[in-house]
């Protein structure tokens, strides 16, 4: 099992968004604890440990720290604002 860590931006984003969206995003993020690279994850070009998952119009960018068994959630936002 991997542990989840959130940077400041995802915390602020989740605090501001509505409850349904928050639950939907968190349910997908919790899946990463047991499967850090699910079938719908895409590697971020130019980054060795960074991946993204799509949740509707939103993207979650995260980094897998294999040696520490940690997943760092770096950014959560709509597609045009993430890239």
Q: What is the pLDDT of residues 18-35, one digit of tens each?
A: 999 999 999 999 999 999
For residues 50 and 10, what is the distance between their CA atoms, to the nearest angstrom? 15
Sequence-distant (≥ 6) Cβ neighbours of residue 38 within 8 angstroms:
31, 32, 53
For residues 17 and 13, what is the distance between their CA atoms, to the nearest angstrom? 6
pLDDT of the residue at 64:
96
Pairing relation of β-strands 42-43 and 3-6?
unpaired
Buried b (16+ CB within 10 A) or exposed e, 53-68: beeeebbbbbbbeeee
- Domains annotated on the chain, with CATH: 3-82 (3.30.2310.20)
pLDDT of the residue at 81:
87
């Amino acid at each position: 099992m991997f542990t989840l860590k959130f940077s400041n931006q995802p915390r602020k984003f989740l605090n501001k968004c509505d409850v349904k969206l928050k639950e939907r995003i968190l349910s997908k993020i919790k899946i990463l604890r047991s499967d850090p690279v699910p079938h719908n994850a895409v590697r971020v070009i130019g980054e060795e440990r960074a991946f993204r998952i799509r949740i509707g119009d939103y993207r979650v960018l995260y980094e897998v720290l294999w040696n520490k068994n940690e997943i760092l959630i770096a950014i959560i936002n709509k597609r045009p604002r993430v890239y």
